[in-house]
Amino acid sequence: MAERLVLKHRRTTLERVEKFLPALQSRLFTDTCPLVCLSCFQTPQRIPYEDAVRHEFGPAKVGDSFGPTWQTCWFKVELSIPREWLGKEVHLLWESDGEGLVWRDAQPVQGLTKEGEKTSYILTDSLTEVEPHSLTVYVEVACNDLFGAGKGSLIAPPDPDKKFTLNQAELVVFNRDIHELLVDFEILVGMAKHLGEENQRSFQALYVANQMVNLLDVTDSSTFPAVRQLASSIFSQKNGESQHMIHAMGHCHIDTAWLWPYEESIRKCARSWVTVVRLMEKNPEFTFACSQAQQLEWVRNWYPGLFAQIQDYARKGQFIPVGGTWVEMDGNLPSGESMVRQFLQGQRFFQQQFGRLCLEFWLPDTFGYSAQLPQLMHGCGIRRFLTQKLSWSLVNNFPHNTFFWEGIDGSRVLAHFPPGNSYELKGHVEEMLRTMNNNRDKGRVNHSAALFGFGDGGGGPTQKMLDRLKRMRDTDGLPRVQMSTPDKLFSVLEKKTQLCTWIGELFLELHNGTYTVQAQLKRGNRECERILHDAEVLSSFALTQKSTFQYPSIKLQHLWRLLLLNQFHDVLPGSCIQLVVEDAMRYYAEIRSVGALLLQDAIEALFGKLLPAGPETTESLLVLNTLPWERTEVVSRPGTEALALVKVPSMGYSAVNDLLTSPHPVTVTKQVDGSVTMENGVIAAHLDSMGRVTSLRLAHSGRESVLDGHCANQFVIFDDVPLYWDAWDVMDYHLETRKPITTLLTPLEIVLAGGLRGSVKFSLQISERSVITQEVVLDAMCPYLRFLTQVDWNETRRFLKVEFPCCVRSMNATYEIQFGHLERPTHWNTSWDWARFEVWSHKWMDLSEHGFGVALLNDCKYGASVHDNVMSLSLLRAPKSPDATADIGHHRFTYAVMPHRGSFQEASVIQNAYNLNFPLHAVPAVSAQCPAWSAFSVSSAAVVLETVKQAEARRDGLVVRLYESHGSTVVTWLQTSLPVKEAISCDLLERPDPSSHLLLQEHGVKLTFTPFQVRSVLLILRQ
């Protein structure tokens, strides 16, 4: 009979096809069979398989609930496949809440997560006579969802009482033909819907899908081939040569800790990656990019069998380690040296375990990217960068997807932002079209990356995603989609000659609250960066001064890895749950305690008999300076209140017996109105009875810093209620709620009357539940006024800052970043300017006009802003999600204000910020018979010698790292008293540049720097 043609109405035809699909779906499993036996036990611990299988299992059945949150339920699954199923594809169907992992023969074999669309474990592709039909497997179910256990919403604090239910557990015969038909339909419907009414291909796809419904009898498999043939007639119609090319790569973003603790991430890695390995067995073309050395190291330790399989697929080029870093760290807050160590630890791991360095820096989900990163990448063997997070910017659309990114020193890397604006695509038509259409470099670049696979909580790709992508390899009207690799993509992009360049930071216009929230994590980070710096410097000294000293390289590596782990992009930024904060604080505590022991070991090795045997008090003092310039400062004698003014050479020590006296002692004078004047011959401050600085002058010129009629050190509080991402965001409208804190609790009183140190104290009431206590300290000869601050903080969604309105006019303020600084505007002229109403900074920020300026220094704060002439330091926030207890409690931090003549470079603001952060070490000595000693000094004030450490690869070598901090081209001498026999330039991975042997002369080695250049030198020691 001739086919009867009807005029097809677009909407009804589409609806007809879509409504047909459930009937097809219901035929996916043609037969089922119950399990022979199911039993289980529960444990609060995450235990190894070997322990679990020895446990006693009690009866269990489908429909049972288990939990609560964070428990683990181990199921023993005894099954027997019916003989009638010979030749059939048989799955264990497992649908439960929580995240599951199937174990078979003592090995993990399949991750099961309902939310990640993984509910079956393939027992056999085609059941044979010879394979075992009866077997026992185990399913380890974690009582948390893919995204933790938020109560009521994703980012709400976890519900501790959540219950988890086993909904389905049985054997099924899987009908692969039905699965393929479903994917065919899905792609055709996707084309029909998303290509749009004006597109010819949209109708072709729709009419073919309609015809498939006409021909298909779901009960009769003999109708399937013709129907599939129809679908492939569409898929096989090819594009022209000019079509956009999508480089699809499997990916599985696993937050190293976020809405779940670190320990759960270890299991997330196993669940996700074993699933990837299963997919690789069946899909030889499937590629998967995997970042974060720490996660791979976890799997190496906890699941060695799986790790061996991963190494195998890495050799085949399917499992592709990327990123080069230890974790996907925050891109703003870690110090320059921390970022170097992220790469150093990461790249060394990838080299050792996979035989190659990563060529791409991979940081898809981080809240902004420092303008120093391009240079650091270069130094670590990386010229390529991938992220997509800037698509989250609230105000401005970033103008490129493929471009050169140039850092503050001029280093350039090739950057690619996958235009699909996601690192967890599912392989849908709409996503591929979005990837093509969103490309903002059309005409310049015709290639894009598409990262597919469930992410954030892990999960990764599915077979269905792969099957979708296969149909879009080259289908007229759709972008071409090929399975690719980061290397293939970037190799193509590198050949493009018309790319634009973006210079400076990649600032995310969202999540700006992460610079401030969870203040104790920020403090831990800054403090531990300092501890590891000092431990390395002093251990290096000890190594060169005492032949029997063992450099603690293994302990230091362990501590560094803990610090680097805590720099993960949901931990240090403070966007994690309370459990994670507790873990992170434990790691900081370990760094503090072990770090203190390492410092003590180094000091004992250096001074031996000069140190007192017991805790007796001594007259003499040894003072150590880990910074590369001479310092004259007031220190406290250990264990006493007594002060001493000491002078210590650059990166060295001196013994102090006869104390220095200051040419100009500090004076503190109280006025009748309760205000106080503090002076030290360098600066003079006047504080009112509320501790506000009403005047701050340079002593020699009388130049005033505080804006007339205003008060500096003014605490202000804001309502801080973001729209959704509570811990992450501070919105621009919070600025409209500014309230100065003016409730005096204890008026200003003098604590130290002057001499070497003067100080005053006061306290303010923030609210009925929160109090600030501050001691304002001025030391002899010190160019800055310190504010030792303690806050008892018990607020809800409020933001505490301190303001310094300055008598300075400038269009830009300067902020310290990693190994350098950058300027940001103080005005809100354009949308790009006002989107930066809250920015980040490291140890200092500065507002200068010609000849004069004011710097704000801090010892553990990162959030900042300068608008007009008001400098603000962000102090504390109080979000309630995902950690309802965030920041509640007692806080201690110090900031300082430093007015200065000339530029901040001329005034040594950078050095003073280091001094505030790296206090001198004073240790009691039985004798001062010890000459002053300096290991290193640098002749140019522009160059900072930041790091001294033992070389990773050779015990007779030290690596020193220096950077140009002023933004100038300089030649400098690095002088050393250490027994150096050879000096070779090396990169950040400590690979010596054989062509760059440096000439050792009487003064040391001569080094040339361009603005913000970071240089490393390998010093080989005489034995």
Whether residue 931 is preceded by a cis peptide bond, meaning omega within 30 degrees of 0, is no
Query: Quick one: CA dihedral 945, 950, 951, 956, positive or negative?
Result: positive
Q: Which stretch binds Zn ion (CB under 5 A): 230-238, 362-370, 374-382, 539-547?
A: 362-370
Provide the minimum distance between the beta carbon of 251 and Zn ion in the complex, in angstroms, as a whole number.
12
Provide the minimum distance between the beta carbon of 257 and Zn ion in the complex, in angstroms, as a whole number.
10
Q: Would you say 255 or 846 has its CB closer to Zn ion?
A: 255
How far apart CA 291 and CA 310 sit, in angstroms, is 13
Provide the minimum distance between the beta carbon of 423 and Zn ion in the complex, in angstroms, as a whole number.
9
Q: Would you say 140 or 255 has its CB closer to Zn ion?
A: 255
Structure tokens at 827: 């005005």
Q: How far is CA 98 from CA 112, 263, 570, in A?
A: 9, 15, 22
DSSP letter, residue 470: H
Does 255 sit near Zn ion (CB under 5 A)? yes
Q: Which stretch binds Zn ion (CB under 5 A): 319-327, 360-368, 461-469, 634-642?
A: 360-368
DSSP letter, residue 3: P
Provide the minimum distance between the beta carbon of 883 and Zn ion in the complex, in angstroms, as a whole number.
17
Q: Would you say 251 or 821 has its CB closer to Zn ion?
A: 251
Structural contact between residues 505 and 370, judged by C-beta atoms closer than 8 angstroms: yes
Provide the minimum distance between the beta carbon of 258 and Zn ion in the complex, in angstroms, as a whole number.
7
The DSSP annotation for 964-980 comes to E-SS--EEEEEEE-S-E
Residue among 330, 360, 365, 505 that touches Zn ion (CB under 5 A): 365
How far apart CA 749 and CA 909 sit, in angstroms, is 29
Q: Would you say 186 or 365 has its CB closer to Zn ion?
A: 365
Does 883 sit near Zn ion (CB under 5 A)? no
Q: Which stretch binds Zn ion (CB under 5 A): 364-372, 544-552, 820-828, 910-918?
A: 364-372
Whether residue 108 is preceded by a cis peptide bond, meaning omega within 30 degrees of 0, is no
Q: Which stretch binds Zn ion (CB under 5 A): 219-227, 247-255, 464-472, 943-951?
A: 247-255
Q: Which stretch binds Zn ion (CB under 5 A): 254-262, 309-317, 596-604, 998-1006?
A: 254-262
Q: Which stretch binds Zn ion (CB under 5 A): 48-56, 255-263, 340-348, 616-624?
A: 255-263
Pick the closest to residue 872 from 981, 735, 776 (CA basis). 735
Other C-beta atoms lying within 10 Å of the C-beta of residue 315:
11
How far apart CA 256 and CA 529 sit, in angstroms, is 20
Provide the minimum distance between the beta carbon of 430 and Zn ion in the complex, in angstroms, as a whole number.
23
Provide the minimum distance between the beta carbon of 816 and Zn ion in the complex, in angstroms, as a whole number.
26
How far apart CA 276 and CA 125 sit, in angstroms, is 17
The DSSP annotation for 306-330 comes to HHHHHHHHHHTTSEEE-S-SSS-B-
Q: Which stretch binds Zn ion (CB under 5 A): 248-256, 346-354, 859-867, 938-946?
A: 248-256
Provide the minimum distance between the beta carbon of 569 and Zn ion in the complex, in angstroms, as a whole number.
6
Provide the minimum distance between the beta carbon of 568 and Zn ion in the complex, in angstroms, as a whole number.
8
Q: Would you say 517 or 782 has its CB closer to Zn ion?
A: 517
How far apart CA 417 and CA 386 sit, in angstroms, is 6
Whether 365 is a known active-site residue: answer yes
Structural contact between residues 294 and 328, judged by C-beta atoms closer than 8 angstroms: no
Provide the minimum distance between the beta carbon of 456 and Zn ion in the complex, in angstroms, as a whole number.
6
Detail the DSSP E strand segments found in 407-534: 412-416, 447-452, 480-483, 501-503
Provide the minimum distance between the beta carbon of 410 and Zn ion in the complex, in angstroms, as a whole number.
30
How far apart CA 973 and CA 1003 sit, in angstroms, is 7
DSSP letter, residue 836: T
Q: Scanning the structure block, which residue is given the tokens 């204000």?
A: 897
Length of the chain equals 1023
How far apart CA 783 and CA 900 sit, in angstroms, is 8
The DSSP annotation for 651-694 comes to TEEEEESS-B--SS-EEEEE-TTS-EEEE-SSEEEEE-TTS-EE
What phi and psi, each to the nearest 5 degrees, are found at residue 756? -75, -30
Q: Would you say 297 or 365 has its CB closer to Zn ion?
A: 365
What phi and psi, each to the nearest 5 degrees, are found at residue 431? -70, -35
Q: What is the number of the residue whose Cβ is closest to Zn ion?
A: 365
State whether residue 649 is helix, strand or coil. Answer: coil
Q: Would you say 456 or 946 has its CB closer to Zn ion?
A: 456
Rounded to the nearest 5 percent, the helix, strand and coil shares of the chain are: 25, 35, 40
CB-based burial of residue 229 (10 Å sphere; 0-12 exposed, 13-18 middle, 19+ buried)?
exposed
Q: Would you say 365 or 505 has its CB closer to Zn ion?
A: 365
Provide the minimum distance between the beta carbon of 273 and Zn ion in the complex, in angstroms, as a whole number.
17
Give the count of residues interacting with Zn ion (CB under 5 A).
2
Q: What is the CA radius of gyration of the chain?
A: 32
Give the burial string for 736-775 (b: 16+ CB within 10 Å, else e). Answer: eeeeebeebeeebeeebebbbbbbbbbbbebeeebbbbbb
The DSSP annotation for 746-792 comes to EEEEEEEEEETEEEEEEEEEEETTEEEEEEEEEETT-SSEEEEEEEE
Provide the minimum distance between the beta carbon of 254 and Zn ion in the complex, in angstroms, as a whole number.
8
Does 330 sit near Zn ion (CB under 5 A)? no
Q: Scanning the structure block, which residue is given the tokens 């293994």?
A: 554
Structure tokens at 270: 């196993």
Please identify which of the residues 145, 255, 365, 846 carries the catalytic annotation: 365
Other C-beta atoms lying within 10 Å of the C-beta of residue 318:
22
Q: Which stretch binds Zn ion (CB under 5 A): 207-215, 250-258, 354-362, 512-520?
A: 250-258
The residues binding Zn ion (CB under 5 A) are: 255, 365
Residues recognised as catalytic: 365
